[in-house]
Every structure is written in C-alpha cells, then in structure tokens.
Amino acid sequence: MLSARGTWCGTSGGLCAVAAAEEYSPLVTDHLAATRASYDNVADAYHELVKDRMAGNPMERAMLNAFAELTGDPIADLGCGAGRTTAYLKSAGCAVSGIDLSPKMVELARRNNPGIPFEVGSMTELRFRDDELGGVLAWYSTFHIPQPELPALFVEFKRVLRPGGRVLIGTHTGQDEVLRPEKAYGHAVSYTAYLYRPELLVGALEQAGLTITAQLTEPGSRPGRGYAAFFAQTPT
C-alpha cells in the first residue's frame, strides 16, 4: 500500500466511512485552522500507529529512495507530521528539513529526530526564497487542500524550487469526493479530506508549470478509491 496517512480511525485499508462522500463544495474558510487543530488532537495516536510502517512498505521505500537519488539538496518535507519520512530521507543522505501545520506534530518530530530541523508552517506560504530548494516532498499532506487552492499550492512549490528541481507527492485518490470525518484515531477531528481523481491532480501540477515525469497508482479496498504518487519537475 502506498498510503502513509491512510489508516484513519484505527482501521486498516484506507479511509474509514465516518463521513459520506459528497460533491465538491467551495473552500472552507478556516480549513487550515481546522486541519491544524485536528492533527494536534491526534498527534500522539497517529505517530504510534505509523512510526514503524516504513519497514513493511517496500513500495513507499522505493519511491522515497528514487526521490532521494534523483533530487538535489536541500529538500523540504511539507506536511511532515512527526518526521517519519523526513528521517527516512535523512538516512538516505539528503539534507532535509520538515514543515508541518501542527505544533504538536512538530514537537514530536523534534523530540524523535534530533539533528533534523523542523518548524511550524503552512505549505501554502513557504518561507523559502525563490529557487532555493532542490526538492519538495508532500507525502500524504496535500489532500486537505480544496480544489480551488491546488494550482496556487503547486505554483508555490515551483517558486521555491531551482530549475530542474523535483516534487514527489503521495495522496489518497477518489472520484473528487469530499470527506468530513468527526473522529480519527480515537479523537475528535474537524478537517476535510479531498479525494481527487489522479488526472485532476496531474492537470493542476501541469497548470502550475510542472512536468510529470512518473506516476504510480494503486487501487484501494473500495471501488473508485486508491492511492497515487506523482514525480514532477520544474523546467531546466
């Protein structure tokens, strides 16, 4: 399974049915605040659930290894959570830092991964200078972004990347569904999850001026649901 943040509500195999799918709805004004508060609530439980998952996921390791080999330093892990993928890239020899919206997640990341810089921040407004990074990893962190904001998000990724810089995105996929769970990992949450079709995400990346260099999709346990990873690159 490709999924990193793919075990919600303590059930394996992907998203649990705590909220019915519905047609795409307009931007929720406080979606960043709701996402931040939700991951603060679930941080400890989520970390315990996924901290050792890399060992049993050869597909995930293969994609991160390919990204590490192809990508120049420095790399930013956006939506890094408690630092699981950040630490993996560090172990692969990358100069990497992590950014997450949740202060509690960043606290865990710093505690568990001394020597790796982590900071609280939003992937929608990055502190990096233009052309500063060699790579951007967004591993199961973009699916909380509403569709109207996707092109601007990917333009922001492109802004901070050098010519030829690389992006790796992993995400849940669906039929442009919107999920609003009320509980995850035994705690109350208020975030929204958007399960886009892979072709919609490809279109948004290309609209931002990024070129798709590789794409991997995997079906989920429910019809129309699954996982996808996209490798993209800025113009050289």
Q: Over its length of 236 residues, how does the chain's per-residue pLDDT go in tens digits?
A: 344 444 333 222 333 333 333 333 344 347 899 999 999 999 999 898 888 888 888 989 999 999 999 999 999 999 999 999 999 999 999 999 999 999 999 999 999 999 999 999 999 999 999 999 999 999 999 999 999 999 999 999 999 999 999 999 999 999 999 999 999 888 999 999 999 999 999 999 999 999 999 999 999 989 999 999 999 999 99
Type of residue numbered 165: G
Q: Are 100 and 43 in contact (CB under 8 A)?
A: no
What is the four-CA torsion angle of 58, 59, 62, 66, rounded to 10 degrees? Answer: -170
187 is written with which tokens? 């705690």
Per-residue b or e along 33-43, where b marks 16 or more CB atoms closer than 10 Å to that residue's CB: ebbbbbbbbbb
* Angle formed at CA 171 by CA 203 and CA 121, multiple of 5 degrees: 95
Cα torsion angle, 94, 95, 101, 105, sign: positive
**Would you call 226 exposed, middle or buried from its count of C-beta atoms within 10 A (0-12, 13-18, 19+)?**
buried
The verdict on pTM exceeding 0.85 is yes
| CATH (one of 3.10.150.10, 3.30.300.30, 3.40.50.150, 3.30.70.100) for 32-233 | 3.40.50.150
**R_g of the chain, CA atoms, integer Å:** 16
Domain segments of the chain as ranges? 32-233
74: cis peptide before it, omega within 30°? yes
